[in-house]
Structure 1
Amino acid sequence: MTARAWRRRDAVAAPAWPAVPPLLARLYATRGVRSPDELASTLAALQPAAALHGLEPALALLERALREQWRILVIGDFDADGATSTVLALLALRALGAAHADFLVPNRFTYGYGLTPGIVAEALASKRPDLIITVDNGIASHEGVQAAQAAGVRVLVTDHHLPGDSLPPADAIVNPNQPGCGFPSKHLAGVGVVFYVLSALRTRLRVGGWFAGRGLPEPNMADYLDLVALGTVADVVPLDANNRLLVSQGLARIRAGRCRPGITALFRVAERDPGRLVASDLGFVVAPRLNAAGRLDDMSEGILCLLTDSPEQALRMARELDALNQERRDIESGMQQEALAALQALRLGDDQVPAGLVLYDRHWHQGVIGILAGRIKERFHRPVIAFAPAQAPAYGEEPAELKGSARSIPGVHVRDVLDTVATRHPGLITRFGGHAMAAGLSLPAANLPAFREAFTRMLAEQVAPELFQAELLTDGELQPADFTEATARQLRDGGPWGQAFPEPLFEGEFLLLEQRLLKDKHLKLSLCHPDSNRVLDGIAFNIDRERWPNPACRRVRLAYRLDLNHFRGMETLQLRIEDMIAV
């Protein structure tokens, strides 16, 4: 495992913002916030939709679809962003007056990702749409768009993924990352894009007298922000000011119980109180259970859980998703052990780990390779691609095609690396797409050795060696007076924290009074700051059993987050430890 070097964030003078506590002001400044305006939490501060390129033709198409009562089919993706995008689109379209709005989500094992010709053929046969709306996909679906249009079906693409060299010939495209788009928040998730489109449609219809003329109640688009928050956090997009605002508003609605019954049910099966949730709970508690449907079975189950208005039905579906998630965890655990065993067999020292790791096993589950790649990346701090057969091969045969899932490290744009590999080695990769930190690809199984060599060589040539050193960025030390429940609440409420806007992490040296092992893998600590008499509780999850517990240790240096522990109705201060070094 790659050791992590601790480094303090570059010092920035705390700005004097009257409404912001000094500690928070310092933390915000080190995260790039230059004005308190960037901390606005009211919807009035959202970036205006008018800057989205392609919005006007999209709205004209949607308005015509409503006026002529076209059959509208939403085609999403099989992850949490795709599921929330699909549910939001259906709920909002129906509230806006669509009488025929349905959905179809590709099964990853049958059709793969996006608007493929195969999913278009199924849509034509089973749904007979007049208009297809893609959510969280479509920007690379040239063949699928062409197949739909050849059958007389119009296509509106809403997506946030990076486009290729050309755009598909859709009737309209809304994507903040397409060429010529001046929308300043380039990090919208798929659910954020469709929220913007349908919010703008609501405004257009109101101005045109649509609701008054038909006696329809005008929907409040803010009612869908619970879905926007969930999809945004789950897709791990950077939390710029605009995304923080969307997530903050969604979290407030969930805490207040004003959310979809499915979200409430998913918290219930996880035995979590949604009234106390923070942004990370959406990513680590709700999203994995929702994603389990798309990874192991069919994301339609997750979509229906979020779509139902019945709390009883939502709870039943949430329990099924929870069971699927446990199955996913068991599968992933076995795959991780196999991957680590294979790497251990290579007998690599810390200075011999390749610039990139390309892993494959013919028995691995296609729906879990993304999580596996992420786990191995965290362990070795290298870009990782895990491959599985695209289709389960017959007994004794090797698969013809492989599907891979890539996870990267800060400073290495993995989609760009794949683009360079594909350009230098035509035909090596069949298709690929994604973001800086995550991507997907397909290639013939016979090409795997050549791809592994090309990928690792590209990284070794283009990536500075220091980027392969895992680094833990801290916000420095806290003063003894800061170790209070009030400060912890201040930090909790100062979010939402997340991707590119990380939760505060502090460092410091403490007296170690007591250490106790929990469940054979967690370490409970009693600590004392050298300049204070207060005894503090600490918890370190999934500790290295070769190093801890350490009975000889009396002083310890910690990288920790100031947290609150809720137990039997009491709220007490707790240090959530990310790393620890015996002094």
Structure 2
Amino acid sequence: MIHKIVRRSKVDDTHLPDSFSPLLKQIYASRGTTAEECDLTLSRLLRPNTMKGLDIASKIIADGIRDNRSILIMGDFDADGATSTCVCLLALKMMGASKIDYLIPNRFDFGYGLSPEIVAVAHSKGAELLITVDNGISSIEGVAAAKALGMQVVITDHHLPGKTIPDADAIVNPNQVDCGFASKSIAGVGVAFYLMSALRAELRQRNWYQEQGISEPNLAHLLDIVALGTVADVVALDGNNRILVEAGLKRVRAGRCRAGITALLEVAKRNPAKIVAADFGFAVGPRLNAAGRLDEMALGVETLLCDDMMSARRMAAELDGLNAERRDLEADMQQEALKSLESVELNEASLPWGIALFQEDWHQGVIGILASRIKDRYHRPVIAFADAGEGEIKGSARSIKGLHMRDLLELINSRHPGMILKFGGHAMAAGLSLRGKDFETFEQAFDLAVRELLKPEQLTGEFVTDGDLSAADMNLTVASELRNAGPWGQEFPEPLFDGHFKVIQQRIVGEKHLKLVLETECGQTMLDAIAFNIDLKTWPDATIEHAQVVYKLDVNEFRGNQTVQLMVEQIEPM
């Protein structure tokens, strides 16, 4: 699908420092950045005292450490869950906790969250205090089961709560009612970091470190893990999240990060000294996620916890292999999904507004990525389902701008009580379970609800660009400035440009990527460019001499030499 191009309007940027180039000032200003928000130092982090539940949660955990209770971190099987688990484990060890362990449910055996079944496993391990990370806000039955077994439960989460919340001993979630913490888009790992910061202060107040003869920990040592989880979970990079991510990236660039992160960067062929947020999002995060998608996320956690470089490299190689397997599975599933849509693709009017897909042999661990790929192709909300056994199917949903996925599922649930067995998530992504026999009914209800909530024009994708880039700005200095002006990410998008170019050379590399040499229309500058996963029905074509290109200005490094390269997001023959 060809996306329409919408250029950002010029805005006043006089409030920003003159040390920035005119181009960067305009880019920042167009994203609503204030002069204060250009300062990404840790001193500007939001204070913890506005996060509801943090005080009581830190007291409960401090009491648990003092009383030498058995503390179990209950994580989630994605990168955010894995990094949250590691932050808590490492911080608790630094604070002198002696009886700590973690447990991450296998998605195929236990599903998501603190279920009664996984609570039974935690009980068998002797857990007395459960701390959930990146999950728990919807675990009504699981918390009840834990309490019935005599365990205390502290929930830390960032997902949207439902109408009923669990009866936990403490809940820390910026999205719960009456929480004044300003960063509602903080990731689960960020919530865990704030809890550990509050716990450190609570123990300091109790004179714990002096009594135990240990040093008060410097939690900044964990910021590389916090940055990884924040970027990998694709949360909005508001001001607070940008501070956390930038601080973590600085640690990595300075060679002060965890051995596991260094090993994952190595296996992904990324240079730690020049890492940017996108490297976490597209190189490290997927390899970490592959463990939870295809195997046990414990492998990902152990990689991040590892402080021996040789062991870290061995585990990173294993994760790299799982990620390659994940890519192959995803490619096969995507082809099958596209085939099922071919009949309606020929007639745009008959294409569902909300696309629901199910195939019995699809892999549960990859349906989220599949839904995302189909959503990108058709610019429609998508839910992909896989068989979950015992007559149930599990779905992973991805939405488009303007449609709140969790609210939509709430609407369907109110109209068809009992059809959705359980659901939860965010505006842009959610998960749910159905009985297999209800799939067709759900498919129709989903499409109908989407049609009610969206307008036709919202089904056309668009690229919001920063306009045309002059030939004079297509140089290494500008490319480096933009690269280093991040961290860029969700809701704080990397600069994107559009323009007309002459197509000088074109060839396929890596089976489906288009390598190009482009020349600016004025003939002043020739540039290398690459478009990934190109439409092979259109390219290469020697008759195409001119194209409209949507692109990012990138720094390409090869054998120690740096050159400017255009990363093509869309190329349309003219």
Normalising by the smaller structure, the TM-score range is over 0.9
Q: Residues 265-301 of structure 1: CA distance to partner in whole angstroms, max 9, x if unpaired?
A: 1111122212221111111111111111111111111
1:482 maps onto 2:473 in alignment = yes
3-state DSSP class of the match of 1:390?
strand
Instruction: Indicate the residue corresponding to 1:526 in structure 2.
Output: 517
Instruction: Indicate the residue corresponding to 1:104 in structure 2.
Output: 103
Q: Residues 310-369 of structure 1: CA distance to partner in whole angstroms, max 9, x if unpaired?
A: 111111111111111111111111111111111114454223211111000111111111
Task: Find the aligned partners of 2:471 and 2:88 in 1 and give their Cα distance.
Answer: 50
Confirm or deny: 8 A CA contact 2:86 2:301 kept in the other structure: yes
3-state DSSP class of the match of 1:177?
coil
Confirm or deny: 8 A CA contact 1:15 1:26 kept in the other structure: no
**Match of residue 379, structure 2, among 363, 378, 381:** 381
Confirm or deny: 8 A CA contact 2:55 2:198 kept in the other structure: no
Task: Find the aligned partners of 1:252 and 1:197 in 2 and give their Cα distance.
Answer: 22
Instruction: Indicate the residue corresponding to 1:178 in structure 2.
Output: 176
Instruction: Indicate the residue corresponding to 1:265 in structure 2.
Output: 263
Q: Residues 231-286 of structure 1: CA distance to partner in whole angstroms, max 9, x if unpaired?
A: 00111000000001100111111111211111111111122212221111111111
Q: How does 1:260-409 map to 2 (within 5 A)?
A: 260-346=258-344, 348-391=346-389, 400-409=391-400
Amino acid at match of 2:23: L
Moved over 3 A (4+): 345-348
Task: Find the aligned partners of 1:533 and 1:438 in 2 and give their Cα distance.
Answer: 44
Instruction: Indicate the residue corresponding to 1:55 in structure 2.
Output: 54
Confirm or deny: 8 A CA contact 1:369 1:388 kept in the other structure: yes
Instruction: Indicate the residue corresponding to 1:434 in structure 2.
Output: 425
Task: Find the aligned partners of 1:338 and 1:537 in 2 and give their Cα distance.
Answer: 34
Q: Report the alpha carbon displacement of residue 505 of structure 1 after superposing the two structures with TM.
A: 0.4
3-state DSSP class of the match of 1:324?
helix
User: With structure 2 as the length reference, what TM-score do the two structures score?
Assistant: 0.98
Task: Find the aligned partners of 1:246 and 1:215 in 2 and give their Cα distance.
Answer: 30
Q: Report the alpha carbon displacement of residue 545 of structure 1 after superposing the two structures with TM.
A: 1.5
**Match of residue 473, structure 1, among 459, 464, 484:** 464
Task: Find the aligned partners of 1:329 and 1:582 in 2 and give their Cα distance.
Answer: 30
Task: Find the aligned partners of 2:182 and 2:172 in 1 and give their Cα distance.
Answer: 14
Tell me which moved more, 561-570 or 516-525.
Answer: 516-525
Q: Report the alpha carbon displacement of residue 200 of structure 1 after superposing the two structures with TM.
A: 1.5
Task: Find the aligned partners of 2:541 and 2:231 in 1 and give their Cα distance.
Answer: 37
Instruction: Indicate the residue corresponding to 2:20 in structure 1.
Output: 20
Task: Find the aligned partners of 1:520 and 1:81 in 2 and give their Cα distance.
Answer: 33
Q: Report the alpha carbon displacement of residue 303 of structure 1 after superposing the two structures with TM.
A: 0.7
Structure 1: runs of 5+ lacking an equivalent: 392-398
Task: Find the aligned partners of 1:9 and 1:417 in 2 and give their Cα distance.
Answer: 30
Q: 1:351 to 1:5 in 2, by over 3 A?
A: farther
3-state DSSP class of the match of 1:351?
helix
Instruction: Indicate the residue corresponding to 1:492 in structure 2.
Output: 483
Instruction: Indicate the residue corresponding to 1:548 in structure 2.
Output: 539
Confirm or deny: 8 A CA contact 1:480 1:532 kept in the other structure: no
3-state DSSP class of the match of 1:316?
helix
3-state DSSP class of the match of 2:349?
coil
Task: Find the aligned partners of 1:380 and 1:31 in 2 and give their Cα distance.
Answer: 26
Q: Report the alpha carbon displacement of residue 532 of structure 1 after superposing the two structures with TM.
A: 5.2
Task: Find the aligned partners of 1:580 and 1:364 in 2 and give their Cα distance.
Answer: 32
Amino acid at match of 1:65: G
Instruction: Indicate the residue corresponding to 1:167 in structure 2.
Output: 165
Amino acid at match of 2:527: L
1:30 maps onto 2:10 in alignment = no
Q: Report the alpha carbon displacement of residue 208 of structure 1 after superposing the two structures with TM.
A: 2.9
1:94 maps onto 2:85 in alignment = no
Amino acid at match of 1:94: K
Q: Report the alpha carbon displacement of residue 515 of structure 1 after superposing the two structures with TM.
A: 1.9
Task: Find the aligned partners of 2:568 and 2:278 in 1 and give their Cα distance.
Answer: 16
Amino acid at match of 1:484: N
Confirm or deny: 8 A CA contact 2:154 2:168 kept in the other structure: yes
Q: Report the alpha carbon displacement of residue 449 of structure 1 after superposing the two structures with TM.
A: 1.0
Task: Find the aligned partners of 1:280 and 1:424 in 2 and give their Cα distance.
Answer: 40
Task: Find the aligned partners of 1:550 and 1:578 in 2 and give their Cα distance.
Answer: 18
Amino acid at match of 1:60: K
Task: Find the aligned partners of 1:338 and 1:513 in 2 and give their Cα distance.
Answer: 36
Q: 1:412 to 1:40 in 2, by over 3 A?
A: same
**Match of residue 250, structure 1, among 240, 248, 251:** 248
Q: Residues 420-448 of structure 1: CA distance to partner in whole angstroms, max 9, x if unpaired?
A: 00011101100000001100000111111
Q: Residues 374-401 of structure 1: CA distance to partner in whole angstroms, max 9, x if unpaired?
A: 111111111000111112xxxxxxx511
3-state DSSP class of the match of 2:350?
coil
Task: Find the aligned partners of 1:109 and 1:519 in 2 and give their Cα distance.
Answer: 34
Instruction: Indicate the residue corresponding to 1:501 in structure 2.
Output: 492
Q: Residues 5-34 of structure 1: CA distance to partner in whole angstroms, max 9, x if unpaired?
A: 11112332223422432211211111121x
1:572 maps onto 2:571 in alignment = no
Q: Report the alpha carbon displacement of residue 492 of structure 1 after superposing the two structures with TM.
A: 0.5
Amino acid at match of 2:191: V
Task: Find the aligned partners of 2:367 and 2:299 in 1 and give their Cα distance.
Answer: 21
Instruction: Indicate the residue corresponding to 1:212 in structure 2.
Output: 210
Q: Report the alpha carbon displacement of residue 78 of structure 1 after superposing the two structures with TM.
A: 0.2
Task: Find the aligned partners of 1:436 and 1:292 in 2 and give their Cα distance.
Answer: 23
Instruction: Indicate the residue corresponding to 1:422 in structure 2.
Output: 413
Q: Residues 542-563 of structure 1: CA distance to partner in whole angstroms, max 9, x if unpaired?
A: 2111212221222222111110
Instruction: Indicate the residue corresponding to 2:4 in structure 1.
Output: 5
Amino acid at match of 2:131: I
Confirm or deny: 8 A CA contact 1:16 1:25 kept in the other structure: no
Task: Find the aligned partners of 2:129 and 2:345 in 1 and give their Cα distance.
Answer: 56
Task: Find the aligned partners of 2:443 and 2:411 in 1 and give their Cα distance.
Answer: 14
1:76 maps onto 2:67 in alignment = no
Q: Report the alpha carbon displacement of residue 80 of structure 1 after superposing the two structures with TM.
A: 0.2
Q: Report the alpha carbon displacement of residue 110 of structure 1 after superposing the two structures with TM.
A: 0.8
Task: Find the aligned partners of 2:519 and 2:20 in 1 and give their Cα distance.
Answer: 29
Instruction: Indicate the residue corresponding to 2:549 in structure 1.
Output: 558
Task: Find the aligned partners of 1:566 and 1:576 in 2 and give their Cα distance.
Answer: 13
Q: Report the alpha carbon displacement of residue 207 of structure 1 after superposing the two structures with TM.
A: 3.2
Q: How does 1:117-132 map to 2 (within 5 A)?
A: 117-125=116-124, 127-132=125-130
Task: Find the aligned partners of 1:553 and 1:360 in 2 and give their Cα distance.
Answer: 39
> % of aligned pairs identical?
53
Confirm or deny: 8 A CA contact 1:136 1:191 kept in the other structure: yes
Instruction: Indicate the residue corresponding to 1:396 in structure 2.
Output: none
Confirm or deny: 8 A CA contact 1:354 1:456 kept in the other structure: yes
3-state DSSP class of the match of 1:402?
strand
Tell me which moved more, 478-487 or 509-518.
Answer: 509-518
Task: Find the aligned partners of 1:449 and 1:510 in 2 and give their Cα distance.
Answer: 47
Instruction: Indicate the residue corresponding to 1:224 in structure 2.
Output: 222
Tell me which moved more, 345-354 or 144-153.
Answer: 345-354
Confirm or deny: 8 A CA contact 2:134 2:158 kept in the other structure: yes
Task: Find the aligned partners of 1:121 and 1:373 in 2 and give their Cα distance.
Answer: 32
Confirm or deny: 8 A CA contact 2:135 2:155 kept in the other structure: yes
3-state DSSP class of the match of 1:160?
coil
Amino acid at match of 1:476: G
Tell me which moved more, 513-522 or 247-256.
Answer: 513-522
Task: Find the aligned partners of 2:344 and 2:243 in 1 and give their Cα distance.
Answer: 47
1:512 maps onto 2:511 in alignment = no
Confirm or deny: 8 A CA contact 2:355 2:383 kept in the other structure: yes
1:445 maps onto 2:430 in alignment = no
Instruction: Indicate the residue corresponding to 1:46 in structure 2.
Output: 45
3-state DSSP class of the match of 1:430?
strand
Task: Find the aligned partners of 2:278 and 2:349 in 1 and give their Cα distance.
Answer: 33
Amino acid at match of 2:397: A
Task: Find the aligned partners of 2:15 and 2:191 in 1 and give their Cα distance.
Answer: 35
Tell me which moved more, 249-258 or 550-559.
Answer: 550-559
